[in-house]
Amino acid sequence: MVKYLHDKGAREGIPVSGTFELTQRCNFSCEMCYVHDCKQNIAPLSAEDWLDLAQQAKDAGTVFLLLTGGEPLLRDDFEYIYRSLARMGFLVSINTNGSLLEKYTELFKELPPTRINVSLYGADNSTYSKICGNGAFDKVLNSVKKMKELGISVKFNTMFTPENISDYKKIADISKELLIPIKPTTYVYPPARLGKNNDNRFSPEEAAEYINLIDEYRFDKEFYAERLKRLLALPKGPEENKVRCRAGRASFWITADGIMRPCGMMPEPDAKPLVDGFDKAWNEIKTKTEQIRLPEECLTCKYAGVCSVCAAMCKAETGDFGKTPKYICRMTKRIFELAERSVRGIESK
């Protein structure tokens, strides 16, 4: 049903899902964050602003709503906003660092979110201190266990960087032990929205090597081998260089300062739902997204069917939707080479 509704949304231009970036504030200070910057001080939208936008989104057909930040649970009025959204008939999920979850145990017991996505940054307090400036690992893990006990669906998102890669086995073990799915990534977007570069990320080749190591460790052997075979079969790539994901076609993102974008990773295109109303802003975003063209070169690339390149990556990496992000090319090529090497290794065994 979720896929059906999003496909329908993309076909008919209905904003089936959306993200509200409730605040840019965060109690962590991660270097790789694309939203939070302690030096920036954006006046947050009021709860009434968010609820007004939500009512307009509901009227336009939005069903799935993701609350994110910064750290959304930092808002003093989070409970009021969340309760109102859930009662309006949205399926609400939450992105959080997990450190403040315990405060909302009773709320989530009464009104469980569809899912809580917890960013897991390490496997102990010292890695947390190093990456987040807040040694909150124990607190996060205890809260996650409590949410699981309440029957709430939890997922881990882990962004691996040179600072926490040594924890990858322990993190994968935590995911297995708690039966919580994990989405690991070693690719870190340059924080283009903040106008900054990210000098402290892996090289493209390292990003490929580490994600391969992580996947090899977390998947059972048969599943991992099957995945590699599928990758090496080099499935056909897209036929058009238009935006292919849901962004700006069936989903929208509203930043902490009330700007609508197709996706949170994109610094543009912009629309102003607070000034022009939700419908006009959504129509602008749809039109501008439809005009985006990814690099022509990507259509004829050998790796097109296995490459994860998207409009946001092109823009964040090169400043231009139409320019080839060489970082992604190098990473994908290395992923393919590693798959070839692994399969040869598996076959020779």
Partner 1 sequence: MALKVSKDIILRDVGADSILVPVGNALKEHNGLFMLTESAKFLWGQLPECDSVQELAQRLFDEYEVTKEQALADTQEFIDKLVEFDIIDKE
List residues near partner 1 by CB under 8 A. 1-2, 5, 8-9, 12, 14, 16, 58, 61, 63, 86-91, 110-112, 114, 151
Token duo for residue 306: 């296995």
CB 12, min distance to partner 1, A: 5
CB 61, min distance to partner 1, A: 5
97: how many CB neighbours lie within 10 A of its CB? Answer: 25
CB 145, min distance to partner 1, A: 17
Please identify, using beta-carbon distances, which residue of 22 and 57 lies nearer to partner 1: 57
Q: How far is the CA of 295 from the CAs of 79, 187, 318, in angstroms?
A: 43, 20, 11
Please choose, from the candidates 193, 200, 271, the residue with its C-alpha nearest in 3D space to the C-alpha of residue 36: 193
CB 154, min distance to partner 1, A: 14
Rounded distance, CA 79 to CA 58, Å? 19
CB 115, min distance to partner 1, A: 10
Please identify, using beta-carbon distances, which residue of 5 and 47 lies nearer to partner 1: 5
Token duo for residue 161: 């960087």
Please identify, using beta-carbon distances, which residue of 150 and 233 lies nearer to partner 1: 150
Contact 277, 56 (CB under 8 A): yes
Q: How far is the CA of 168 from the CAs of 56, 120, 183, 218, in angstroms?
A: 42, 11, 12, 9
Please identify, using beta-carbon distances, which residue of 66 and 335 lies nearer to partner 1: 66
